[in-house]
């Protein structure tokens, strides 16, 4: 009986040994095909799929403020401003308005009323908004930074003789929007500009890390003031930083 069982097991082992080469080849082909299918679905590097949107400026028309940012929308029958959802600016502002939890904005120049209002709306709705600005440009005519601070939005700025020249925003910690585009009307309808928006982790994380680095750095340079207020943050005419922009009054 024992000899019979041993012989039977040896027979099974022999069969498995014979089949193993062919079986392995079949299994490998199945595995390879599945892997290729996964790459096609998830991206060429096999990582999680992500979106990437590229926008170019200038737009042909000025955006319609009421259409974008009021509850009733635009009620004018013959509005001359843009309602085009495919326009670069409206796609950009939709990305900002899609924020649910947080907006980390690092912007050299911010004078565009529509984008500033979009930020304010999300702040009033409870999103955590933080803004990093350039010292000289936050004090120039038309800048929306003072309005942000009056609303209670946290703002920090550089204290150096060089420019804080970044132009990016991180939405909800998982989408970054960046490019040559300053948040100005000149950039919307005048300048040749570009923007890329993506939720690729490999792109978002370095920008998020840079924002946190500057947020901490500029806080340390403000000394004991942990929460920047309008009174503490605005520079007076006697401040040497205030005068840096006088000789470089150019549109960016």
Annotated active-site residue 167? The verdict is: yes
Residue 236 has pLDDT above 90, yes or no: no
**Which of 6-15, 148-157, 203-212 is the least confident region?**
6-15
Give the separation between CA 187 and CA 245, rounded to whole angstroms: 19
**pLDDT value of residue 49:** 78
Mean pLDDT of the chain: 81
The tens digit of pLDDT for each residue in 61-85 reads 999 999 999 999 999 999 999 999 9
Catalytic residue chosen out of the listed positions 83, 128, 165, 242: 165
- Map out the domains of the chain as residue ranges: 1-42, 52-248
Dist. CA 43–CA 49, nearest whole Å: 6
Asked whether residue 251 carries a pLDDT value surpassing 50, the answer given is: no
Which comes out higher in pLDDT, residue 209 or 24? 209
Query: 14-18, 121-125, 223-227, 240-244: which has the minimum mean pLDDT?
Result: 240-244
Rounded CA-CA distance 114/93 in Å is 8
**193-198 and 52-57: which strand pairing?**
antiparallel
Using pLDDT thresholds of 50, 70 and 90, give the confidence band for residue 92: very high
159 — pLDDT class (breaks 50, 70, 90): confident
Helices (H), 143-194: 145-150, 185-189
| Active-site residue, selected from the candidate residues 83, 84, 172, 199 | 172
pLDDT in tens, 100-124: 999 999 999 999 999 999 999 999 9
Examine the pLDDT at 86 and tell me if it is beyond 50: yes
pTM for this prediction: 0.71
Please indicate whether residue 172 is annotated as part of the active site: yes
- Express each pLDDT in 170-192 by its tens digit: 999 999 999 999 999 999 999 99
CB under 8 A, 24+ apart: contacts of 231-237: 233/149, 233/155, 233/156, 233/157, 234/139, 234/146, 234/149, 235/135, 235/139
Active site residue 165: yes
Which is catalytic among the residues 123, 144, 166, 167? 167
User: The domain 52-248: what is its CATH number?
Assistant: 3.30.870.10
Taking only the tens place, the pLDDT of each residue in 46-57 is 556 789 999 999
* Alpha-carbon torsion angle 171, 176, 182, 186, nearest 10: -80
């Amino acid at each position: 009986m024992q000899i019979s069982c041993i012989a039977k097991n040896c027979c099974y082992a022999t069969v498995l040994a014979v089949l193993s080469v062919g079986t392995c080849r079949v299994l490998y082909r199945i595995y390879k095909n599945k892997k290729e299918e996964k790459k096609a679905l998830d991206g060429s590097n096999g990582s999680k799929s992500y979106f990437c949107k590229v926008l170019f400026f200038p737009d042909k028309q000025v955006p319609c403020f009421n259409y974008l940012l009021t509850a009733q929308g635009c009620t004018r029958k013959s509005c001359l401003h843009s309602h085009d959802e495919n326009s670069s600016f409206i796609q950009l502002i939709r990305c900002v308005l899609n924020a649910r939890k947080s907006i980390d904005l690092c912007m050299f120049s911010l004078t565009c009323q529509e984008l500033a209002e979009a930020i304010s709306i999300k702040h009033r709705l409870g999103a955590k908004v933080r803004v990093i600005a350039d010292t000289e440009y936050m004090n120039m005519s038309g800048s929306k930074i003072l309005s942000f601070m009056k609303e209670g939005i946290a703002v920090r700025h550089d204290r150096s003789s060089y420019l804080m020249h970044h132009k990016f925003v991180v939405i909800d910690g998982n989408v970054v929007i960046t490019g040559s585009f300053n948040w100005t009307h000149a950039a919307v309808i005048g300048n040749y500009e570009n923007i890329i928006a993506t939720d690729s982790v490999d792109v978002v994380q370095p920008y998020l890390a840079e924002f946190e680095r500057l947020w901490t750095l500029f806080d340390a340079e403000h000394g004991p003031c942990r929460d920047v207020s309008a009174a503490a943050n605005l520079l007076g005419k006697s401040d040497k930083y205030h005068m840096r922009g006088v000789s470089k009054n150019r549109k960016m």
